[in-house]
């Protein structure tokens, strides 16, 4: 009885499916015909699409000839749509005129040709233009129907369980049989359904939905047979699930990428569904590797991008999960599975599809960078690289037992990824991410991080060796750097001419990776006093990079008109600088670095490479960094106390001298920026050399952070003033932006020193410092008068050469210093060697200030008239106004008797004299004919 009911249900189900298939076919036929007519009517006023008879498939014509009952136009439309991934063209029907004059549409006329045809017209419709009716009726209804079928099968099994009608074995067999029926019905509908519907609703195809529903039913049946009822063991269940997943993946070639995603998902969850006593890494990752390769092969056939990228990430997730939950980790199968994934990316999909010899570099850039995520190979590149990097980095954090040294596996995976990227001209992301992963892995290895933290929290800050020499880790880091160097040079030799953009990327990796990894290795595992291993490695890397640059220059690799050669030169310099750092110390390192940069600069006599003089700039910058970290260059205890003739003289003087020679050597170099940079650095280092020697001599041979005295600061100010004048002179002989703006910056810095130190903190009136025993030759002379005269001379020299505001500022600075010298000299005359403010003021001293200020005002007025300097006359007026203010505010209250009277009488005579003097100047101006020039006294020439 039960068997009879099952047979009846099966017959009814088949009848229903068959009737439903006929109705669906009829509806699709009508919908396709109506849509075709609507499109034809919509394009009656437009030009028909162009069909070229130059490319397509012969199979389409053969299929049409083999099936005479099948409409020919849709057949050709389907063939073209499948080949070119386009919707079928609109084919106008032939019209015939009957006897009564009525025009009727006849069958579409198609002329078959054995020559291939290529559709060159754009799509006639877009998914974005679908009506609501199409979305609801032709797409969403199909999706909902497929879900309903899958749920129906599940509910049917559940109902049979709850009702106790059938046993577990029969229920599972029926569920599996139901899935097979759905898959078979899908194939039947695929072969018999109208191609019009397939072309119009390719993302909602009924065969694909039915196949997916059937696959879900079969998956559930197999898992229930193993996991719930234990009818079959783990091995048969695993094999059946894997076989089903691969079958679904194979059917996806017929039904699309969505079904391939379902097959991939089934494959990836199959190991998790099978319970076992312990993980079997070889079986697990062997199966996952096969799934990955099969997915790549299917994607290659159909040109899919999303599913293979998901397969990459899924395999990477499985590796991370295994590493996280395994007590004893077998890294060998894991590494082989990941390498198989790299191989499938490099050889299967996308493989060497971007290695078209006729492709331009612009096409490579568009293919590898410009496509949207998930729509092109960029998604495949990034997903594959991430699926390698994350597990490789996770291996470095393993604490349990492993069959291989995790660092070796990490280096192997990174090297394999980099090698695969170097074989493809368009694979920019795997190449760059491989380098990034190598640096991150080297930095965040567990032992390295521990040592770094210990060094940072070390209160003593000693420079002792962080760890004992660890041979294997050093070998891993240095070997990985060497691999990047070889891959980069090999790429330049093989594809540098065809792909200059990728050549730049690989030149950067070849130059940067060995140096970065060697630096990290030295910092954590090196011997700071003298490390021959890292030193020789750096020398070898530098020599290899320079040789590669020379081969590029000679055309051995094909001449590359790009920055690749300059990047190699820069890397070579950096490698040699690293070698100097790890094998020398102190003063020797500083001098050797300057000499190294000078050697690269002198190479400009042999090669006119733009990067060579910049290496001198980089070397001098490194020297200044070393000076900033330790101004003594040899340590405070080892610095000699002999003035001038000590370690500072060669340590500062030789780099400054080389900078001056370098600037002179490049006087005719076409690159203006590098010339300006060297000129500015030469001027700065020359000034720095003199200043540091002066400070050392005036502080008893000790360099510390104590505040300098006014005498020492005066020397610095004079040096800056002199530097401004020298730069101004150089600018006249060899015009340069560095000389022009550098001279004004130097002058501005000196003025800041005047305002903050000479008139402020280091002023003997505030600091109480001794001015010296001699009346005139004392601290006030070097601190105020000499700098004031220097500013005056610089202002005169700058007239006509620098902007007027700058010249005026120099003149005012000189006048201010002169005024300060006179005022402080008056106080020293009355107070003696110490002129501090706490000693108070005498009446005669107060009167002397008024006399001195008036004399200064008159003197500046005379000089301003003599040189036609309006700034001096304005300064004179300011000083006279100060004298007037002092007379009425100070003298009236502090002076008594004859001194008060003399103060005001003298002030009156001086003011009257100044008025008469100005009248004579104005009278002279009014009698001078206007010759078109600026009137004297109106402006200061500049």
Pairing relationship of beta strands 328-329 and 103-108 according to DSSP bridges: unpaired
Residue 688 CA, distance from chain mean position: 35
pLDDT bracket for residue 124 (50, 70, 90): very low
Tokens matching residue 61: 């014509």
H runs (alpha helix) in 428-469: 428-443, 446-456
Tokens matching residue 249: 């993946």
What phi, psi does 274 have (nearest 5°)? -100, 115
For the four alpha carbons of 292, 298, 302 and 307, in that order, the dihedral sign comes to negative
Dist. CA 319–CA 297, nearest whole Å: 22
Query: Hey, how many other C-beta atoms are within 10 angstroms of the C-beta on 257?
Result: 20
Strand partners, 329: 402
Helix (H) / strand (E) element for 859: namely helix 843-866
pLDDT bracket for residue 920 (50, 70, 90): low
Helix (H) / strand (E) element for 347: namely none
pLDDT winner (highest mean) among 68-72, 142-146, 323-327: 323-327
Instruction: Give the CA count within 13 Å in the CB-facing half-sphere of 849.
Output: 23
Contact 289, 341 (CB under 8 A): yes
Residue 742, pLDDT > 50, answer yes
Average pLDDT score over residue span 46-72: 40
Integer CA distances (angstroms), 785 to 401, 584, 750, 869, 890, in order: 80, 47, 15, 20, 26
- Residue-wise pLDDT for 246-265, tens only, equals 888 888 887 778 888 888 88
Dist. CA 922–CA 917, nearest whole Å: 9
Query: Hey, how many other C-beta atoms are within 10 angstroms of the C-beta on 183?
Result: 22
**Structure-model confidence comparison of residues 50 and 714, the more confident one:** 714
Residue 69, pLDDT > 60, answer no
Strand partners, 40: none
Query: Hey, how many other C-beta atoms are within 10 angstroms of the C-beta on 220?
Result: 18
Pairing relationship of beta strands 103-108 and 93-97 according to DSSP bridges: antiparallel
Give the gyration radius of the chain's Cα atoms.
Answer: 45
Could you tell me what percent of the chain has a pLDDT over 70? Answer: 67
**Structure-model confidence comparison of residues 140 and 188, the more confident one:** 188
pLDDT of residue 316: 94
Tokens matching residue 35: 């849509």
If 0-12 CB within 10 Å is exposed, 13-18 middle and 19+ buried, where does residue 116 land? middle
| All residues at 6 or more sequence positions from 143 whose CB lies less than 8 Å from its CB, including other chains | 204, 209
Tokens matching residue 676: 């300006």
Which three-class secondary structure state does DSSP give residue 28? helix
Strand partners, 118: 52
Contact 852, 826 (CB under 8 A): yes
Residue 577, pLDDT > 90, answer yes
Average pLDDT score over residue span 405-415: 92
Dist. CA 853–CA 890, nearest whole Å: 14
| All residues at 6 or more sequence positions from 216 whose CB lies less than 8 Å from its CB, including other chains | 150, 153, 179, 262
Which three-class secondary structure state does DSSP give residue 95? strand
Integer CA distances (angstroms), 941 to 471, 741, 799, 808, 924, in order: 72, 19, 6, 10, 19
Q: Say how many residues make up the chain.
A: 942
Dist. CA 91–CA 71, nearest whole Å: 13
Residue 620, pLDDT > 60, answer yes
Integer CA distances (angstroms), 656 to 255, 624, 668, 699, 896, in order: 75, 10, 20, 23, 61
Dist. CA 769–CA 783, nearest whole Å: 12
Which three-class secondary structure state does DSSP give residue 586? coil
Residue 935, pLDDT > 90, answer no
Q: How many distinct helices (H) and strands (E) make up the chain?
A: 36, 6
Tokens matching residue 468: 């004992």
H runs (alpha helix) in 633-671: 648-665
Dist. CA 341–CA 349, nearest whole Å: 10
Tokens matching residue 197: 């519907």
Residue 5, pLDDT > 60, answer no
Strand partners, 224: none
Strand partners, 95: 105
Which three-class secondary structure state does DSSP give residue 402? strand
pLDDT of residue 444: 76
Virtual CA dihedral for 925, 926, 929, 931, nearest 10 degrees? 50
- Residue in the block written with tokens 């291996």: 395
Dist. CA 146–CA 207, nearest whole Å: 10
Dist. CA 749–CA 763, nearest whole Å: 18
Dist. CA 544–CA 549, nearest whole Å: 9
Average pLDDT score over residue span 609-632: 91
Integer CA distances (angstroms), 762 to 508, 703, 775, 790, 825, in order: 52, 19, 20, 19, 16
Pairing relationship of beta strands 51-52 and 93-97 according to DSSP bridges: unpaired
Contact 811, 826 (CB under 8 A): no
| All residues at 6 or more sequence positions from 101 whose CB lies less than 8 Å from its CB, including other chains | none
- pTM value is 0.66
| All residues at 6 or more sequence positions from 392 whose CB lies less than 8 Å from its CB, including other chains | 338, 409, 410, 413, 414, 437, 441
- Residue in the block written with tokens 């694909």: 208
Average pLDDT score over residue span 625-633: 87
pLDDT bracket for residue 497 (50, 70, 90): confident
Query: Hey, how many other C-beta atoms are within 10 angstroms of the C-beta on 145?
Result: 18
Dist. CA 247–CA 254, nearest whole Å: 12
Dist. CA 458–CA 597, nearest whole Å: 35
| All residues at 6 or more sequence positions from 721 whose CB lies less than 8 Å from its CB, including other chains | 746, 747, 750, 787, 790, 791, 794
- Residue-wise pLDDT for 851-893, tens only, equals 788 788 777 777 777 777 776 677 777 777 777 776 666 655 5
Residue 417, pLDDT > 70, answer yes
Query: Hey, how many other C-beta atoms are within 10 angstroms of the C-beta on 711?
Result: 16
Q: Lowest mean pLDDT: which of 46-55, 376-385, 755-764, 821-830?
A: 46-55
pLDDT of residue 580: 95
Which three-class secondary structure state does DSSP give residue 105? strand
Average pLDDT score over residue span 638-654: 91
Dist. CA 903–CA 297, nearest whole Å: 107
pLDDT bracket for residue 228 (50, 70, 90): confident
Integer CA distances (angstroms), 805 to 717, 812, 866, 913, 942, in order: 20, 10, 20, 30, 9
């Amino acid at each position: 009885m039960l068997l009879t009911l099952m047979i009846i249900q099966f017959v009814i189900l088949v009848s229903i499916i068959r009737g439903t298939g006929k109705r669906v076919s009829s509806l699709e036929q009508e919908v396709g015909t109506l849509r075709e007519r609507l499109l034809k009517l919509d394009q009656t006023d437009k030009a028909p699409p162009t069909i070229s008879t130059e490319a397509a498939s012969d199979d389409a014509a053969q299929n049409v000839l083999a099936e005479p009952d099948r409409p020919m136009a849709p057949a050709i439309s389907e063939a073209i749509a499948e080949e070119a991934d386009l919707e079928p063209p609109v084919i106008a029907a032939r019209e015939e005129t009957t006897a009564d004059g009525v025009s009727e549409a006849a069958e579409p006329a198609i002329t078959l040709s054995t020559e291939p045809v290529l559709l060159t017209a754009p799509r006639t419709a877009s998914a974005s233009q679908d009506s609501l009716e199409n979305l609801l009726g032709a797409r969403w209804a199909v999706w909902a129907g497929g879900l309903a079928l899958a749920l129906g099968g599940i509910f049917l099994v559940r109902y049979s369980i709850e009702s106790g009608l059938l046993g577990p074995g029969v229920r599972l067999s029926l569920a599996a049989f139901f899935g097979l029926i759905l898959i078979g019905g899908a194939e039947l509908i695929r072969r018999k359904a109208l191609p019009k519907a397939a072309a119009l609703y390719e993302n909602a195809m009924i065969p694909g939905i039915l196949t997916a529903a059937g696959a879900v039913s079969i998956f559930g049946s197999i898992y229930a047979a193993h996991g719930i009822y234990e009818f079959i063991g783990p091995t048969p269940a695993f094999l059946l699930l894997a076989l089903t997943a691969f079958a679904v993946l194979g059917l996806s070639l017929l039904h699309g990428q969505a079904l391939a995603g379902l097959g991939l998902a089934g494959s990836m969850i199959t190991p998790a569904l099978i319970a076992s006593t312990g993980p079997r890494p070889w079986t697990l990752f062997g199966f996952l590797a096969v799934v990955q390769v099969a997915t790549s092969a299917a994607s290659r056939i159909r040109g899919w991008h999303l599913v293979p990228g998901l397969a990459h990430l899924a395999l990477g997730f499985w590796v991370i999960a295994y590493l996280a939950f395994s007590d004893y980790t077998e890294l060998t199968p894991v590494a082989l599975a990941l390498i198989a994934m790299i191989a499938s990316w490099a050889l299967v999909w996308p493989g060497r599809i971007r290695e078209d010899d006729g492709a331009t570099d612009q096409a490579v850039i568009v293919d590898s960078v410009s496509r949207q995520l998930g729509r092109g190979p960029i998604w495949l590149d990034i997903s594959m690289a991430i699926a390698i990097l994350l597990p490789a980095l996770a291996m470095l954090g393993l604490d349990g037992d492993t069959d291989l040294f995790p660092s070796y596996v990490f280096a192997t995976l990174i090297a394999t990824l980099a090698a695969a990227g170097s074989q493809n001209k368009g694979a920019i992301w795997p190449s760059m991410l491989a380098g990034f992963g190598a640096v991150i892995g080297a930095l965040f290895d567990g032992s390295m991080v521990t040592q770094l933290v210990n060094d940072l929290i070390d209160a003593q800050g000693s420079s002792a060796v962080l760890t004992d020499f660890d041979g294997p880790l050093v070998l891993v880091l240095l070997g990985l750097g060497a691999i990047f160097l070889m891959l980069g040079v090999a790429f330049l030799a093989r594809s540098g001419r065809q792909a200059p953009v990728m050549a730049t990327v690989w030149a950067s990796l070849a130059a940067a990776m060995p140096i970065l990894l060697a630096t990290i290795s030295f910092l954590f595992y090196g011997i700071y006093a003298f490390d021959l291993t890292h030193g020789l490695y750096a020398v070898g890397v530098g020599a290899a990079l320079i040789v590669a640059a020379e081969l590029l220059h000679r055309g051995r690799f094909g001449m590359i008109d790009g920055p690749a050669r300059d990047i190699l030169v820069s890397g070579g310099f950096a490698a040699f600088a690293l070698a100097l750092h790890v094998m020398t110390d102190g003063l020797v390192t500083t001098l050797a670095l300057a000499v190294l940069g000078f050697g690269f600069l002198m190479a400009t006599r042999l090669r006119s490479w733009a990067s060579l003089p910049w290496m001198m700039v980089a070397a001098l910058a490194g020297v200044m960094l070393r000076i900033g970290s330790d101004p003594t260059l040899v340590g405070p205890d080892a610095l000699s106390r002999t003035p001038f003739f000590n370690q500072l003289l060669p340590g500062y003087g030789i780099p400054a001298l080389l900078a001056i020679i370098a600037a002179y050597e490049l006087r005719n170099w076409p690159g203006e920026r590098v010339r300006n940079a060297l000129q500015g650095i030469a001027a700065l280092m020359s000034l720095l050399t003199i200043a540091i020697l002066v400070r050392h001599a005036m502080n008893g041979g000790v360099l510390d952070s104590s505040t300098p005295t006014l005498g020492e600061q005066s020397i610095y100010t004079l040096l800056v003033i002199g530097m401004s004048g020298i730069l101004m002179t150089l600018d006249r002989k060899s015009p340069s932006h560095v000389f022009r703006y550098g001279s004004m910056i130097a002058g501005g810095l000196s003025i800041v020193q005047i305002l903050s130190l000479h008139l402020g903190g280091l002023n003997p009136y505030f600091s109480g410092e001794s001015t010296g025993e001699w009346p005139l030759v004392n601290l006030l002379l070097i601190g105020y008068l000499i700098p004031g005269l220097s500013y005056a001379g610089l202002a005169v020299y700058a007239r006509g050469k620098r902007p007027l505001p700058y010249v005026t500022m120099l003149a005012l600075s000189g006048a201010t210093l002169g005024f300060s010298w006179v005022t402080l000299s008056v106080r020293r005359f009355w107070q003696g060697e110490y002129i501090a403010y706490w000693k108070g003021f005498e009446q005669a001293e107060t009167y002397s200030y008024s006399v001195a200020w008036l004399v200064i005002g008159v003197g500046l007025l005379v000089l301003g008239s003599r040189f036609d300097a309006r700034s001096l006359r304005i300064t004179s007026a300011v000083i006279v106004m100060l004298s007037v203010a002092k007379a009425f505010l100070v003298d009236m209250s502090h002076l008594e008797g004859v001194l008060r009277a003399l103060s005001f009488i003298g002030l009156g005579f001086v003011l009257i004299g100044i008025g008469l003097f100005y009248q004579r100047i104005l009278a002279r101006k009014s009698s001078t004919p206007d010759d078109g020039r600026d009137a004297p006294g109106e402006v200061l020439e500049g």
